[in-house]
Chain A
Amino acid sequence: MSSVDGKAPFNARQGLTARQVWAGIGLVLALILVWMVVAQWPAWLNGILISKRTFLTTLLNGLTLAGLYFLVASGFTLIFGLMRNVNLAHGSLYLLGAYVGYEVVSRTGMWLLGVAVACLVLAVVGLILQVLVFRRLEGDDLRQTLVTIGISIVAADMMIAVWGGNTYQITEPDWLSGAVRLPVVTTIRADGTAIFLAYPFFRLFVLFLAVAVGIGLWLMINRTRLGAMIRAGVNDRAMLSASGVNVHVVFAIVFALGAALAGLAGVIGGSALSVSPGEDVRYLLASLVVVIVGGMGSVTGAAIGAVLIGIAEQLGLVYFPTYGGVVTFLILVVALAVRPQGIMGK
């Protein structure tokens, strides 16, 4: 569509390519951020951003949330990229994962087992959905999408029937609880002792896990045979099928993987935050916005979108609480206005 708009492409003869300009802007922003983390803040900056501790904690909260969003949205974007199927029941998968994780953890007390069971159960659910529903409606994107809406309505109601309207919290394991002292000085007292920034270990773990999953996904997609099939399927499904690959198996694997990621995110989110009805819609919206902003079908785009949305949401919550919801929306509108296909979209 952009080619029809008549905008001149960024001209190389002007001296800078678009990529160089963006890299330059990114570098400047990164330097500012590094300075903000390392330096002692002058009073005027404290005046604007409340305090260094507040700002850095908010930033870390944003990154943690971004990690969670990425886990949910990466499965969403994979499924979309390959099958052109907007799985609007993805939020329900997240919530189901959280509930399953809660049941397992509260009965056995083993958090890792909860994660494993939730991933497994959700992978199976995803597989069943793919085989029973999506394969039968293949080629009809719109009906697939409508069916996922129907599924999400029924699923939300059934989950309320089973787990009620209560809010649950999955107990995080001992080895992940507590706070860590980060090597970042927030303030220096009058007597010269430095106060370091403390942050919940579990949230750092969430961040770490999201990065690990992201790298794992990237490696799988770019370095393995299955990844090559998935990329080929994203580009041209029919051609992949014609070259002898059983597309249905690839679809099923990706769907199971995406659902398992949603389940994983459910347990993580249920431990870091909480589990309650309505969370499905929240995470569905988050995935939607992340994927629209980042570019549909791109895992890298999902990571970028998640970071943008996560940080914006948390900063918005702290610095302009009344308009927290609008920040997300503004990013969406700006992204659509500038790049309708998303940051990494094609």
Chain B
Amino acid sequence: MSAASPRPAAGRSLPAAAPPGDPSVGAHLGLAAALLLLPAVASGFILVQIGAQSLILGLLALSLMVLAGYGGMISLAQITVAGIAGYTVAILGENSVAVHGFGWPWWLTVPVAITFAALGAALIGWISVRTQGIYTIMITLAIATAMSLFAQQNYTLFNGFEGFAGIPAPTLFGQRLRAPMAFYYLCLGVAALCYVAVLYGARSTFGLGLQATRDNQRRMRALGFDTTAHKVFAWFLAGIIAGLAGVLLVWFQGRISPGTIGVAAAINILVIAVVGGLRHPIGPFLGAVVVVLIQTFATDVVGAARHNTLIGITFLVIVYFSPDGLLGLWSRFQGQFRQNPLRPGDGA
């Protein structure tokens, strides 16, 4: 589908995807070293509940960031895409509720799950690219809710309200992947891979075409680009990321139910992405760490049940004061607050 853009963006050499606050190579290396060495100092609880969970939610938010940041399409259906992968793993692999569970090995279920997720994402994208801006939010929210309701009502395929439980993570070379350190490194590896892929993809011909479509769809169409194909392909690629996250999520939780892919979860992903910032792929992971920390430790601050209020207020404050999330705050702090030349009209 990327063949739809035979002509390179000729003429000016664009400063491809270098938004304000772009972490330099040094920062990347430092971050990588810190993340790789984390298991040396952190306990298993921190590694899995904070580390792995942030990475998984960050991956989901990254798939949203790809669509929103580069494509201008805010999707609330990324959790639905992850859910497709998760349910596929539960149905084709093993589970303990004695519904389906074909017992396929992981190297078969995972590719199938991710393929389903990516195709599902492309389908959702194909439906929703007919609309723009806030309409896309509405339609993807409607799709996400409908899918969750469907999973809840359907017992033959999704096992209804209960969903699936007892889904084991595989064992690789005698090492249980769900063991804290192994799982942390697994999530870190997948996240790093996707992060680099997104950074690279944003500078590819396809990525530039997508960003140009975001900025001026009419002009791109006049230039002979198939803008719909660009957008749907972006959905497909984001679907792969969300699918990977979905597989990790179902291994992490060991269960999946309609609540996993419900509206609250869908909005949670959006909150993470927006809190972190949609300008750069590091944003979603930043947002995920903040939200996971709040979710884990808010109990000590505001009492057991009210952590949603704290998250909601954090979200409100950030949206209200810094549209670019924490990344925006950071770049403002750095005094580099300038407009991204690829996104006209943002500063207005």
Is B2's beta carbon under 8 Å from chain A? Answer: no
* Complex partner residue of A292 from B138, B153, B154, B311, CB under 8 angstroms: B138
Instruction: Give the docked Cα–Cα distance between A151 and B154 (Å).
Output: 32
Is B199's beta carbon under 8 Å from chain A? Answer: no
Instruction: Give the docked Cα–Cα distance between A153 and B312 (Å).
Output: 5
* Complex partner residue of B316 from A139, A151, A322, CB under 8 angstroms: A151
Find chain A residues with CB under 8 A from B127 CB.
333, 336-337
Of the stretches A174-182, A195-203, A233-241, A323-331, the one at the interface is A323-331
- The residue in A139, A285, A324 that gathers the most chain B C-beta atoms within 10 A of its C-beta is A285
Instruction: Give the docked Cα–Cα distance between A292 and B139 (Å).
Output: 8
B146 touches A328 (CB 8 A): yes
The smallest beta-carbon distance between B162 and chain A, in angstroms, is 15
Find chain A residues with CB under 8 A from B331 CB.
none
* Complex partner residue of B306 from A146, A157, A281, A324, CB under 8 angstroms: A157
Is B102's beta carbon under 8 Å from chain A? Answer: no
Is A86's beta carbon under 8 Å from chain B? Answer: yes
A150 touching B309 in the complex, CB below 8 Å, given contacts A281-B145, A328-B146, A336-B127: no
Of the stretches B23-31, B39-47, B129-137, B168-176, the one at the interface is B129-137
Instruction: Give the docked Cα–Cα distance between A99 and B7 (Å).
Output: 59
A336 touches B154 (CB 8 A): no
* Complex partner residue of A141 from B134, B308, B311, CB under 8 angstroms: B134
Chain B 306-345 residues near chain A, CB threshold 8 A: 306, 308-309, 311-313, 315-316, 319-320, 323
Chain A 139-182 residues near chain B, CB threshold 8 A: 139-143, 145-147, 149-151, 153-154, 156-158, 160-161
Q: What's the tally of chain A residues with a CB closer than 8 Å to chain B?
A: 44
Chain B minimum-CB-distance residue to A136: B320
Chain A 70-112 residues near chain B, CB threshold 8 A: 84, 86, 88
B153 touches A285 (CB 8 A): no
The smallest beta-carbon distance between B226 and chain A, in angstroms, is 13
Is B141's beta carbon under 8 Å from chain A? Answer: yes
B306 touches A145 (CB 8 A): no
Find chain A residues with CB under 8 A from B155 CB.
322
* Complex partner residue of A153 from B74, B142, B150, B267, CB under 8 angstroms: B267
Instruction: Give the docked Cα–Cα distance between A160 and B304 (Å).
Output: 13
Is A26's beta carbon under 8 Å from chain B? Answer: no
Find chain A residues with CB under 8 A from B221 CB.
4
A340 touching B131 in the complex, CB below 8 Å, given contacts A149-B270, A323-B150, A324-B153: yes
* Complex partner residue of B308 from A153, A325, A332, CB under 8 angstroms: A153
Chain B 285-312 residues near chain A, CB threshold 8 A: 305-306, 308-309, 311-312
A150 touches B312 (CB 8 A): yes
The smallest beta-carbon distance between B325 and chain A, in angstroms, is 10
Is B274's beta carbon under 8 Å from chain A? Answer: yes
Instruction: Give the docked Cα–Cα distance between A270 and B7 (Å).
Output: 59
Q: What's the tally of chain B residues with a CB closer than 8 Å to chain A?
A: 42
B316 touches A150 (CB 8 A): yes
Is B49's beta carbon under 8 Å from chain A? Answer: no
A140 touches B323 (CB 8 A): yes
Main SS class of interface, A: helix
Find chain B residues with CB under 8 A from A340 CB.
130-131
B316 touches A141 (CB 8 A): no
Find chain B residues with CB under 8 A from A149 CB.
267, 270-271, 315
Find chain B residues with CB under 8 A from A146 CB.
270, 274, 315, 319
Instruction: Give the docked Cα–Cα distance between A49 and B99 (Å).
Output: 32
Instruction: Give the docked Cα–Cα distance between A139 and B323 (Å).
Output: 13
Is A315's beta carbon under 8 Å from chain B? Answer: no
A336 touches B130 (CB 8 A): yes
Chain B minimum-CB-distance residue to A293: B142
Instruction: Give the docked Cα–Cα distance between A156 and B313 (Å).
Output: 12
Chain B 147-185 residues near chain A, CB threshold 8 A: 147, 149-150, 152-156
Instruction: Give the docked Cα–Cα distance between A291 and B147 (Å).
Output: 19
A325 touches B135 (CB 8 A): no
B323 touches A288 (CB 8 A): no
A329 touches B143 (CB 8 A): yes
Find chain B residues with CB under 8 A from A322 CB.
153-156
Find chain B residues with CB under 8 A from A158 CB.
309
Instruction: Give the docked Cα–Cα distance between A156 and B150 (Å).
Output: 23
The smallest beta-carbon distance between A288 and chain B, in angstroms, is 5
* Complex partner residue of A296 from B135, B150, B263, B313, CB under 8 angstroms: B135
Is A321's beta carbon under 8 Å from chain B? Answer: yes
Instruction: Give the docked Cα–Cα distance between A30 and B151 (Å).
Output: 35
Instruction: Give the docked Cα–Cα distance between A12 and B255 (Å).
Output: 58
A325 touching B306 in the complex, CB below 8 Å, given contacts A150-B316, A153-B312: no
A161 touches B305 (CB 8 A): yes
Find chain B residues with CB under 8 A from A143 CB.
319-320, 323
A156 touching B308 in the complex, CB below 8 Å, given contacts A149-B270, A329-B146, A340-B131: yes
Find chain A residues with CB under 8 A from B152 CB.
325
The smallest beta-carbon distance between B156 and chain A, in angstroms, is 7
Is A1's beta carbon under 8 Å from chain B? Answer: yes
The smallest beta-carbon distance between A144 and chain B, in angstroms, is 9
A288 touching B146 in the complex, CB below 8 Å, given contacts A84-B134, A153-B267: no
The smallest beta-carbon distance between B213 and chain A, in angstroms, is 14
B interface footprint on A121-146 (CB within 8 Å = 1, 0 otherwise): 00000000000000001011111011
A-B contact pairs, 11 of them (CB 8 A): A139-B348, A143-B319, A153-B308, A154-B316, A161-B305, A323-B154, A324-B153, A328-B146, A329-B142, A329-B143, A340-B130
- Nearest first, the 7 A-B pairs at minimum CB distance are A325-B149, A153-B312, A154-B312, A329-B146, A150-B316, A157-B308, A340-B130
List 6 additional A-B contacts (Cβ < 8 Å) besides A141-B134, A161-B309: A143-B319, A157-B308, A281-B145, A326-B150, A328-B146, A340-B130
